[in-house]
Amino acid sequence: MQITVASSAGFCFGVNRAVNMVSKLLDEGKKVCTLGPIIHNPQTLSDFAARGVTIAQSVAEAPQDATLVIRSHGVGQSVYDEISARGLAYSDATCPFVAKIHAVVRKASEEGRTVLVAGDAGHPEVQGILGHCSGASFVFRNAAELQRITAEREGLKSSPVCAVVQTTFDVTEWENCLEIIRKVYTNAVVFDTICNVTAIRQTEAAELSRICDAMIVIGGRDSSNTAKLFNVCLSNCDAYFVEAVDELPLPVLKKAGRVGITAGASTPASIIKEVFDTMSEVNEGAVQAADETAEKNTKENPAEGNFEEMLEESLKTLNTDEKVRGIVVGVTPTEVLVDVGRKQAGYVPASELSADPSVKPEDVVKVGDEMDLLIMRTNDQEGTIMLSKKRLDAAKGWEDVMAAADDESVLEGVVSEVVKGGVIAVTNGVRVFIPASQATASRSDPLEDLLKKQVKFRIIEVNRGRKRAVGSIRSVLRDARKAQEEKFWETAEVGKVYTGVVKSLTSYGAFVDLGGIDGMIHISELSWTRIKHPSEVLNVGDTVSVYVKALDQEKGKISLGYKKPNDNPWEILKNEYPVGTVLDVKVVGMTTFGAFAQVIPGIDGLIHISQIADHRIEKPQDVLKIGDVVKAKITDIDFDRHRVSLSIRVLLEDAEEAAGEFENN
């Protein structure tokens, strides 16, 4: 038997959020009452009941001294009004995906649209959605009901409508309904509000059930999404709906060649694990699935243990532990031929050569190489011996991993795969799972950049019985960064120039990685001209030359300078535009006492109202407007106060004087 657990099985985001909310309130010592069952799972409800959680079927039943928790299904507006009227303390665990539907239908109703809801009218989520509709609304469970509603209500097809869908609705049935809406309704706005987790879960269940002899679907009897999963699976193979491990039909399942396990959004991981462990115990060889299945399971759910088949159990199944030394006599794309000094021909399948499944035989060995190998299977009839290098390497490497876990030493390995929730690094033949939170220096760094890269990591968790290890690259990076910081502070001084990389931008400046430590360039230091945001000057990833303006080692703060003195517009003005210079200036602002004009980028000068014209004017706007380009003369510069005085009048008077002299001549 081969057992495959769907990677999407278990709590969805919304349910997990609701359960955690109740647990947190209990941990804080508060009395908790949920509005309806917080989750469609009897085991979890029983645990909460033991901790004192009560269930109220209506707001009126809720105790005045308890915190009322609104479950992830959400409620209508009238419920919020009733809670407010009673003055109850409450926590809202409405799933954000459901809350989004509430906002959509509320707005649609305000716009006068009729709301069409695909879902089960009796489901609390749908009832909550309808509670936010102030106008006409209709619910349909399938395409046939939608057609009936359309036929019975004259004019609905051409009316403005808004269509939404229950987050756990059947994906295939929604496609059928969408086809009708798109073809029939001429003024419809459609929101595909099926939760993406639900869609993935149903798609995965459909794919898994097509290749399995039987499916186990775990969840509460009242769970709508679990019931849909069961129906999806039942259409492809034998399916069994169970709430807990004691409901497993073990006599029937023992006869199945391949069994799949999936679970609804309200099913705790502990119950899924209990079912999986029970199935594995019943089927002694379940954990030694074929390489193809083991590889698939590794990618599907590494955190829950569906890694490549475990070394120890594999050796038991193969019923051999004899080691041999062989010489490579041939290499093909699928296997390595080895002479082990026996009458049988030895061969190592490509899948048994390396812990990295993407490695090609020709990349690992060449003819003439000597290797220590483990005998996996002897076939005297065919005269062959199947061998494994991977498993022997793993056995040796596991000792190193355990030692590294004990002394916190650093291991090196190559990232062979990016899987759900993290990456797999191979060190001495051992696959180590590194969670996403421990794989990079920052959570925003893409995991894909690590693929095929040599990395250093520490072992932070081991399961010696099942030979599994969890590592942390971030731990090593953190130590390296700390060492770089100490080195920086030993030599850092004001004025010293560094080359760094722009790490991030904020509204007030840019953070630069100086090599293990970050410094900040304030926005005022990025340009001599006024800018609104650092992105006008720099981009994340830019390499920049900066100098230290100020240091505060106690607070770990480094202020950096970026502007170059030679680019200072006041230095440029001093060197190239002395008093008396005539130039074109652009009017950029107006006041009652004059106009401001740009002399050069970064410097504006004032044309006093008395210097705008050669005659008296009431206001600057009588002669100038913003955007005008006029000739003006620099009449004064105050470098200390950063002020420039300009005059148009003096040029006009000079022109008149020159014209008078010309006429006299």
| Number of other CB atoms surrounding residue 220 within 10 Å | 22
Nearest-angstrom CA–CA distance, 651 and 613: 10
Measured CA to CA, the distance from residue 80 to residue 541 in angstroms comes to: 48
Q: How far apart are CA 545 and CA 563, in angstroms?
A: 10
Sign of torsion over alpha carbons 349, 352, 358, 361: negative
With residue 486 as reference, give the H or E element that holds it. helix 473-491
Provide the token pair at 226: 């679990």
Catalytic residue among 28, 110, 125, 536: 125
Give dist(CA 72, CA 60) in Å, integer: 20
Nearest to 427 by CA among 461, 456, 392, 449: 456
Query: What single letter denotes the amino acid at residue 211?
Result: I
Separation of alpha carbons 40 and 118, rounded Å = 21
Nearest one of 35, 41, 33 to 16, comparing CA atoms: 41
**Cα(302)–Cα(461) distance, integer angstroms:** 14
Report the alpha-carbon distance of residue 346 to residue 452 in Å, rounded: 30
For residues 503 and 511, what is the distance between their CA atoms, to the nearest angstrom? 6
Residues paired with residue 424 on neighbouring β-strands, in sequence order? 417, 433
Is 448 annotated as catalytic?
Answer: no
CB 350 within 8 A of CB 361: yes
Q: Whole-angstrom Cα distance, residue 261 to residue 105?
A: 36
Q: Kindly state the tokens that stand for 483.
A: 């060492």
Strands annotated E in 508-602: 509-513, 518-522, 543-552, 557-561, 582-591, 594-600
User: Phi and psi at residue 63, in whole multiples of 5°?
Assistant: -65, 145
Q: Which residues are known to be catalytic? A: 125
